[in-house]
Chain A
C-alpha cells in the first residue's frame, strides 16, 4: 500500500503546483494585461500570454494621473486603519471580559456575538442606509468607518475570546495574588500573551474592510469618498467601455503587495486560530 518516496514527492509538488496556479492564474492574467497595448490585447489570434507588441506603462500612468485611483487608495487605507483601531478598542476588552470575567453567562453570550457575524450585510444595508442618511454621514468615508466594525467586531471578539481562553488561568491568578489589579493583569499579562490573536485580528479587520463592496457601493456615491472596491469598477467601467489594462493594474497594485504581507504573516494567522484546537482535539 505504501507508495515510493519519489512518487510521493512528485505527487506532492504536482498538487502544490496545480493549487498555486489556480490561486494566481487571475493575477497572472491581470499583470500581463496591465502592460499590453490595445493593438496586442484586442486581437483574438494573438497568444494572450505573450507580448506580441512591446509592453508599455501608459495604462498605469493613466490610472494614476487621469483617474481618481490615488484618492480611492488613500480612502481605503485610511478607512482600514481607523476600522482596525476601532475594532481592537471594542473587541479586545469585550473578548477578555467574556473569556475571564463574566462567568458562565460570558460563554453563552459568546455564541450570540458570533451569530451576529452571520447576519450578512445584505440584511442590514437597507436599514443602515437609512440610518446613515438620517445622521448625515452618507457620501462620506465616515459612513463606512461607522458601519465596518459591524463586520469586524463580532468576528474578532469571537476569535480573541478563544485566544484568551487558551491562556492558562494560573498565569493571571499568580499575578493577581501578587497584588495586581484585574485591569493591570489584563494590560500586562493577558495582552502580551494574546499578540498572535491580535495580529490575526488586525489583518482580518483590515482585509474585511478593504473587501467590502455592498456598503461602499450603497452609502457613497461621490467620487472623493469612494473606496478602491467601489471606486475602481465605477470609474473604469463606463457603460460598455472597460479600461481593461487600467482595471487590471488597479487590482494587481492592491492585491499583490497585500498578498506578500499576508503571506509572510501566514504562520501567525494560523496561530491566531490555533486556539480552538486543544479543546476539539480532546474528544
Chain B
C-alpha cells in the first residue's frame, strides 16, 4: 500500500543514470515506506503508553475518565500498600522465572529431536504445534477442566495407580484441588505457560539449530564425541545467545499476559496466585479504578525494559557487530 504511493509503482525509467525520479531516491522512498508503520505505532502504542503514565498520576475512574486531576504518586503508594501487591509481584516473578527454566530445558530437548529426519516427522510437527494453535483463552479453559477439582482425569489416574485417595501417599482426599491451593495453583500456571509457549520457542531455536554447519557435527563424530558431549560442546555454544534471546522474549510475553490466570485460578484462593497483569485488570476495569490499574501495570515496565536491554545486548554481541 505504502509502496504504491511512492509515485509510479512499477515504472522502470529508460535512462537510469540521467533521469532520477522520486521512486529512485532511496531516502525518500524509504521514508514513505516506513511512515505508515511509524505513524500507526506512535498513535496506538507511544501515545497510549504516555497516557498510561498520565492516568497513573491522576484519579480517573471508569465513570469519570478525565486525567486532568493530578494526584502525584498517590496511586502507586496506595497500590503498594495493599496485601495483593506483594502476592502479585512475587507470583509474577516466580511464574516467569520458573517458566524460563522449564521452557529452556524442554526447548533444547524438543529442538534436538526435531533437528533430525525421521518417519512421521510431519505428524509429530502437527501434534507439537497444537498448543500454539489454540487461542490461549480457550486452551486455558481446557486446562481448567483438565485440572477440575472433582473430575480431573489426572486425579483419576493417580487414584488408579494408588497414589491418591484415603490411605495413599497423596491422600486422604480423593482430589488434589490443583487450582485451589497456593503452590499447586502457581505450578499449574507455570505448566500451562510452558505448554503453550513451547511450540513457538521451538520454532525460533530450531531455526538457529538448522543453521549450524553440518561439518561441525561430522567432525565431532569423527572425534568420537558422544551425544551429550556434542550437545554441550557444539550445539549449545553454537546456538549461544540466540537460544537465550529467543526464550527470554517468549517468556517476557508471559510476564505481561493475564489470560491463563484470569481463566484458571483467577488469582485465588485469596490473592495467593495473583499476578500483576490480572490484578491491573481487576482494579482498572472490573473495579473501575482506571488510574490504579494503570499504576499496577506500570510496575511491569522496569522489569520488561531491563530484560529487553539485556537480551538485545546479547543479541548484538552474538551477531559480532
Binding site for B on A (CB under 8 A): 1-3, 8, 12, 15-16, 19-20, 22-27, 29-30, 33, 41-42, 44, 47-49, 76, 89-91, 93-94, 96-98, 100-102, 106, 111, 113-116, 118-131, 133, 146-147, 149-150, 153-154, 157, 176-184, 186-188, 207, 210-211, 213-214, 217-218, 228-230, 232-233, 237, 242, 244, 247-248, 250-251, 254-256, 258-264, 266-267, 269-283
Of chain A, the residue at the smallest CB distance from B312 is: A111
The docked-state distance in angstroms from the alpha carbon of A214 to that of B259 is 7
Question: B97 in the interface, Cβ–Cβ < 8 Å?
Answer: no
Instruction: Tell me if A233 and B37 are in contact (CB < 8 A).
Output: no
Q: A122-B300, A127-B48 are in contact. List 20 more A-B contacts (CB 8 A).
A: A8-B227, A23-B131, A26-B131, A27-B134, A93-B1, A94-B2, A101-B26, A118-B256, A120-B252, A120-B257, A150-B41, A179-B16, A183-B9, A213-B262, A233-B141, A251-B135, A255-B130, A255-B138, A262-B126, A262-B132
Tell me, rounded to whole Å, the shortest Cβ–Cβ distance linking B37 to chain A: 4
The docked-state distance in angstroms from the alpha carbon of A84 to that of B14 is 36
Known: A19-B106, A263-B122, A270-B207. A207 touches B319 (CB 8 A): no
Chain B CB within 10 A, most for which of A12, A97, A130 = A97
The docked-state distance in angstroms from the alpha carbon of A282 to that of B211 is 10
Q: Give the residues in chain B near A128, CB-CB below 8 Å.
A: 44, 48
Tell me, rounded to whole Å, the shortest Cβ–Cβ distance linking A89 to chain B: 4
5 A-B pairs within 8 Å (CB atoms) are namely A118-B304, A213-B263, A232-B138, A263-B127, A282-B319
The docked-state distance in angstroms from the alpha carbon of A129 to that of B212 is 46
Instruction: Tell me if B238 and A281 are in contact (CB < 8 A).
Output: yes
Instruction: Tell me if A101 and B27 are in contact (CB < 8 A).
Output: yes
Instruction: Tell me if A90 and B285 are in contact (CB < 8 A).
Output: no
Question: B153 in the interface, Cβ–Cβ < 8 Å?
Answer: yes
Of chain A, the residue at the smallest CB distance from B156 is: A48
Of chain A, the residue at the smallest CB distance from B242 is: A280
Label chain A's interface by main secondary structure: helix
Task: Identify which of B40, B135, B242, B258 contacts A122 (C-beta below 8 A).
Answer: B258
Instruction: Tell me if B33 and A274 are in contact (CB < 8 A).
Output: no
Instruction: Tell me if B208 and A26 are in contact (CB < 8 A).
Output: no
Of chain B, the residue at the smallest CB distance from A85 is: B1
Question: B173 in the interface, Cβ–Cβ < 8 Å?
Answer: no
Instruction: Tell me if A276 and B51 are in contact (CB < 8 A).
Output: no
The docked-state distance in angstroms from the alpha carbon of A279 to that of B242 is 10
Q: Give the residues in chain B near A237, CB-CB below 8 Å.
A: 141
Binding site for A on B (CB under 8 A): 1-3, 6-16, 21, 23-27, 29-31, 33-34, 36-38, 40-41, 44-45, 47-49, 51-52, 55, 65, 106, 109-110, 113, 116, 118, 122, 124-139, 141-143, 145-146, 150-151, 153, 156, 174, 195, 198-199, 203-204, 206-208, 210-213, 224-227, 229, 238, 240-242, 249, 252-253, 255-259, 262-263, 276-277, 280-281, 284-285, 290, 293-294, 297-298, 300-301, 304, 308, 312, 315, 318-321
Known: A19-B109, A122-B258. A229 touches B242 (CB 8 A): no
Chain B CB within 10 A, most for which of A16, A89, A91, A232 = A16
Chain B CB within 10 A, most for which of A19, A96, A116, A256 = A19
The docked-state distance in angstroms from the alpha carbon of A122 to that of B65 is 18
Q: Give the residues in chain A near B203, CB-CB below 8 Å.
A: 266, 269-270, 273
Of chain B, the residue at the smallest CB distance from A107 is: B321
Q: Give the residues in chain A near B225, CB-CB below 8 Å.
A: 1
Instruction: Tell me if A279 and B134 are in contact (CB < 8 A).
Output: no
Instruction: Tell me if A94 and B142 are in contact (CB < 8 A).
Output: no
The docked-state distance in angstroms from the alpha carbon of A76 to that of B136 is 13
The docked-state distance in angstroms from the alpha carbon of A244 to that of B252 is 31
Known: A15-B109, A248-B142. A118 touches B249 (CB 8 A): yes
Instruction: Tell me if B285 and A126 are in contact (CB < 8 A).
Output: yes
Instruction: Tell me if B52 and A23 are in contact (CB < 8 A).
Output: no
Instruction: Tell me if B133 and A44 are in contact (CB < 8 A).
Output: no
The docked-state distance in angstroms from the alpha carbon of A283 to that of B297 is 38
The docked-state distance in angstroms from the alpha carbon of A119 to that of B127 is 31
Chain A CB within 10 A, most for which of B14, B15, B47, B52 = B52
Q: Give the residues in chain B near A149, CB-CB below 8 Å.
A: 40, 44
Task: Identify which of A8, A129, A183, A263 contacts B3 (C-beta below 8 A).
Answer: A183
Tell me, rounded to whole Å, the shortest Cβ–Cβ distance linking B173 to chain A: 12
Of chain B, the residue at the smallest CB distance from A255 is: B134
The docked-state distance in angstroms from the alpha carbon of A278 to that of B212 is 8
Task: Identify which of A126, A154, A180 contacts B55 (C-beta below 8 A).
Answer: A126
Of chain B, the residue at the smallest CB distance from A121 is: B256
Known: A23-B127, A182-B26, A276-B242. A255 touches B135 (CB 8 A): yes
Instruction: Tell me if A90 and B137 are in contact (CB < 8 A).
Output: no
The docked-state distance in angstroms from the alpha carbon of A133 to that of B290 is 14
Task: Identify which of A94, A106, A180, A230 contacts B36 (C-beta below 8 A).
Answer: A94
What 6 pairs across the A-B complex have the smallest Cβ distances? A120-B256, A101-B30, A263-B126, A277-B211, A255-B134, A94-B37
Chain A CB within 10 A, most for which of B113, B150, B240, B290 = B113
